[in-house]
């Protein structure tokens, strides 16, 4: 076979196996992130892991009642799990020095979901994975979140072929580096992001589809909504907002639509119930700085502003600095316990990609989608401003970017939504530059995250294994995990790039309908080309 024939055969193989390859590469990327940081690395992991243990079947042995109603006696390892937090120069080696994972020592703590601050669903499910080995159990919880994300995304890919560009690129444009870190973490924010980012698209397909596809999409919508509303109180609110957004996009005054609206109405009531019963909601309404029990961390960098400001001056400061919070939704002022800083290269690349895709998506906005975008945009402005003002806090304090990331995923999906499934108005060169920027940012972000925990940021060098102070027991070293995760994501992006310039159906078959300039053609031309090859 000639070289051209070999290349053509390889290309056809990739096109036929594209869905499976995308799934495998996404799994490899997120598994690499699951092992990139030690147990306890995501914000408030001592709280969340303790809550999971106390909701599990072995709670009677591993989580005994304390002297007070809101205290429990738990393994000491759970309370000391983030011994390296807030000190970026400290590696995770302190875990091995200060305690043994299998220790039988116990301690009384109030750090846990003992008074219903958070909805119970996330802790009840992850609690099923708890056992005598804290490290193994926590890793299984991380992998469960990864599996939930992959399962829901694969179902949406299969059931919504006309929405594949929206599905894939809404995630890719918003996940580096904060999203990838959280999706593979022990933080309930992972389920918030997964649930909100999947539920609205599933509900949109449910309204538009018929037959078995509608049943499948309805099931995806129910699972996604429960995952979001059952993880955090604010995510329950976002799940309700996602339902409202789909209502804006699709509502018609017909009996058929009224019958279809029964399922989202029921799930809206479920989300509302979880929202109202979460004490986290009361904390947010008071403002975390006003004594709420939110998990935000005060003392964040405020740009050198030390004077106390209140009232209109505080509101003006927060309005003017709110864009830094939005930018942090993609780059985060710091991963982990806000102590893993990303360089400007990562920030520039991921924010640039989001802005470019946003402007491309805004080129063709019909009235209903414009209303939906304004609704979500208004929440992205009003909600953080209200919470900050109520607590007397400035941007950079208490309200962390991860709280709003589910909304950004929803916002990105609306920007990239197309009724026809037509490609974006973007050239192949532009799309490959977008892919290169994302892959490069991810390459750097994964390396720096692993460096922070393996040696602390005072360690240096390309080789993550040199001078390692912490790493998992096993034959796979840190360099292998990093390179595997970085390569998997780069290949994932390269397989997703054609979705930006080709209709989803033709992108899967390797067909490239072209106009006079060789770039993406109109939706009508694309549909004609696709129908000719059926």
Q: What is the DSSP string of 123-179?
A: HHHHHTT--S-HHHHHHHHHHHHHHHHHHHHHHHHHH-GGGHHHHHHHHHTT-TTHH
| Span of 95-99, 247-251, 411-415, 483-487 with lowest mean pLDDT | 95-99
Q: Is residue 434 over pLDDT 90?
A: yes
Higher pLDDT, 271 or 102: 271
The pLDDT score that the predictor gives to residue 393 is 87
Q: Is residue 289 over pLDDT 80?
A: no
Mean per-residue pLDDT over the chain, rounded = 85
The pLDDT score that the predictor gives to residue 525 is 37
Assign 140 a pLDDT band (cuts: 50, 70, 90).
Answer: very high
**Confidence (pTM):** 0.88
Q: Is residue 376 over pLDDT 80?
A: yes
The pLDDT score that the predictor gives to residue 236 is 96
Give the helix/strand (H/E) hosting 72. Answer: strand 72-75
Assign 329 a pLDDT band (cuts: 50, 70, 90).
Answer: low
Higher pLDDT, 533 or 464: 464
Q: Where are the alpha helices (DSSP H) in 287-336?
A: 311-331
Give the helix/strand (H/E) hosting 107. Answer: strand 106-109
The pLDDT of 100-117, averaged and rounded, is 81
Higher pLDDT, 253 or 10: 253
Q: What span, in angstroms and rounded, lies between the C-alpha atoms of 414 and 169?
A: 11
Sequential DSSP letters for 198-240: HHHHHHHHHHH--HHHHHHHHHHHHHHHHHHHTT-HHHHHHHH
Q: Is residue 385 over pLDDT 50?
A: yes
If we measure between CA atoms, which residue out of 170, 179, 173, 183 comes closest to residue 437?
Answer: 173
The pLDDT score that the predictor gives to residue 522 is 36
Structure tokens of 475? 């034959």
If we measure between CA atoms, which residue out of 92, 117, 145 comes closest to residue 468?
Answer: 92
Higher pLDDT, 120 or 395: 120
CB-count burial class (<10 Å; 0-12, 13-18, 19+) for 460: exposed
Four-CA torsion 423, 427, 433, 438, nearest 10 degrees = -10
Higher pLDDT, 455 or 291: 455
Distances (CA, A) of 273 to 219, 245, 254: 20, 19, 28
Higher pLDDT, 279 or 221: 221
C-beta of residue 135 within 8 angstroms of C-beta of residue 101 = yes
Q: Is residue 400 over pLDDT 60?
A: yes
Q: Is residue 407 over pLDDT 80?
A: yes
The pLDDT score that the predictor gives to residue 100 is 59
Assign 287 a pLDDT band (cuts: 50, 70, 90).
Answer: low
Q: Report the first-to-last Cα separation within the chain, whole angstroms.
A: 28
């Amino acid at each position: 076979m000639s070289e051209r024939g070999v290349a053509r055969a390889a290309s056809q193989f990739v096109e036929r196996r594209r869905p499976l390859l995308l799934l495998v590469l996404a799994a490899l990327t997120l598994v690499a992130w699951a092992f990139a940081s030690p147990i306890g690395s995501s914000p408030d992991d001592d709280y969340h892991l303790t809550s999971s243990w106390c909701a599990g079947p072995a709670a009677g042995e591993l989580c005994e009642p304390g002297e007070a109603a809101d205290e429990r006696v738990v393994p000491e390892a759970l309370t000391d799990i983030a011994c390296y937090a807030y000190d970026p120069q400290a590696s995770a080696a302190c875990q091995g020095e200060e305690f043994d994972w299998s220790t039988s020592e116990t301690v009384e703590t109030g750090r846990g979901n003992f008074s219903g601050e958070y909805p119970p669903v996330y802790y009840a499910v992850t609690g099923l994975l708890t056992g005598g080995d804290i490290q193994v159990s926590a890793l299984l919880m991380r992998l469960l979140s990864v599996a939930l994300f992959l399962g829901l995304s694969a179902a949406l890919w299969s059931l919504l072929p006309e929405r594949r560009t929206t599905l894939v690129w809404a995630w890719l444009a918003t996940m580096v580096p904060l999203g990838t870190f959280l999706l593979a973490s022990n933080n309930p924010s992972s389920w918030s992001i997964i649930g909100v980012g999947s539920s609205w698209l599933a509900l949109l397909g449910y309204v538009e589809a018929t037959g078995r596809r509608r049943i499948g999409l309805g099931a995806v919508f129910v699972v996604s909504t429960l995952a979001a509303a059952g993880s955090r109180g604010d995510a329950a609110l976002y799940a309700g907002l996602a339902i409202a957004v789909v209502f804006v996009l699709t509502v018609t005054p017909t009996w058929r639509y009224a019958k279809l609206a029964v399922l989202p109405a029921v799930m809206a009531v479920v989300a509302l119930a979880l929202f109202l019963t979460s004490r986290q909601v009361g904390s947010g309404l008071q403002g975390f700085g006003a004594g709420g029990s939110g998990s935000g961390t005060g003392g964040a960098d405020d740009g050198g502003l030390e004077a106390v400001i209140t009232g209109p001056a505080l509101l003006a400061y927060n309005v003017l600095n709110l864009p830094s919070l939005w930018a942090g939704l993609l780059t985060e002022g710091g991963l982990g316990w806000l102590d893993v800083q990303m360089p400007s290269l990562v920030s520039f690349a991921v924010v640039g990609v989001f802005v470019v895709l946003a402007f491309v998506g805004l080129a063709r906005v019909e009235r209903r989608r414009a209303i939906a975008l304004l609704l979500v945009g208004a929440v992205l402005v009003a909600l953080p401003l209200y919470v900050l003002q109520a607590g007397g806090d400035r941007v950079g304090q208490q309200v962390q970017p991860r709280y709003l990331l589910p909304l950004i995923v929803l916002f990105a999906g609306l920007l990239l939504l197309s009724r026809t499934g037509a490609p974006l108005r973007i050239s192949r060169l532009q799309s490959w530059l977008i892919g290169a920027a994302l892959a490069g940012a991810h390459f750097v972000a994964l390396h720096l995250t692993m460096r922070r925990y393996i040696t602390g940021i005072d360690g240096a060098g390309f080789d993550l294994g040199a001078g390692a102070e912490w790493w998992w027991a096993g034959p796979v070293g840190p360099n292998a995990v990093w390179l595997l995760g970085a390569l998997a994501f780069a290949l994932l992006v390269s397989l997703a790039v054609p979705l930006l310039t080709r209709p989803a159906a033709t992108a899967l078959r390797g067909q490239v309908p072209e106009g006079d300039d060789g770039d993406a053609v109109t939706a009508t031309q694309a549909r004609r080309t696709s129908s000719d090859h059926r």
